[in-house]
Amino acid sequence: MKFLDRIFQSFRKPAKHYEQPEHAWSVWDSGDAIHCTFKDADKRVARWKTMKKIVMRTTDEGPLLPDMFWHFIDADGEVAFPQGALGEQQIKERAMELEGFDFAQFIASQACTDNATFTVWKAARK
């Protein structure tokens, strides 16, 4: 029986261990877009040029689960990931440089422990 276990074990893909639950998300800025993958699979993209708004969503599920999420909404869809995702700092810094970024709403989101949404940036109407 051990012989069969060794054979089938070679076909099993070991589950990836994440130090923190937020580390299952990986995000990066390519210059023209935000890219996000979840557990090395689903990839989503939001383009800075067509960005409509940025929302912070909080939940009451922390501190053991992610409880604060970034939502970048562009003309083609949305990229969402938790605060603490791998690469989040670079995205956060770029978002905060956008003209009209609402720091008061951002600070309010950081202090919230309930289910809520905070619009921290909205594209100017043309």
pLDDT band at 84, cuts 50/70/90? very high
Number of structural domains the chain divides into = 1
What is residue 5's predicted lDDT score, i.e. its pLDDT?
Answer: 56
What is residue 63's predicted lDDT score, i.e. its pLDDT?
Answer: 84
Residue 38 lies in a domain: yes
What is residue 64's predicted lDDT score, i.e. its pLDDT?
Answer: 84
Question: Which residue segment(s) compose the domain that 87 sits in?
Answer: 21-122
Residue 14 lies in a domain: no
Two structure tokens written together for 91: 């995205």
- Report the chain's mean pLDDT, rounded to a whole number: 88
Q: Name which of 41-50, 96-105, 114-123 the model is least confident about.
A: 41-50
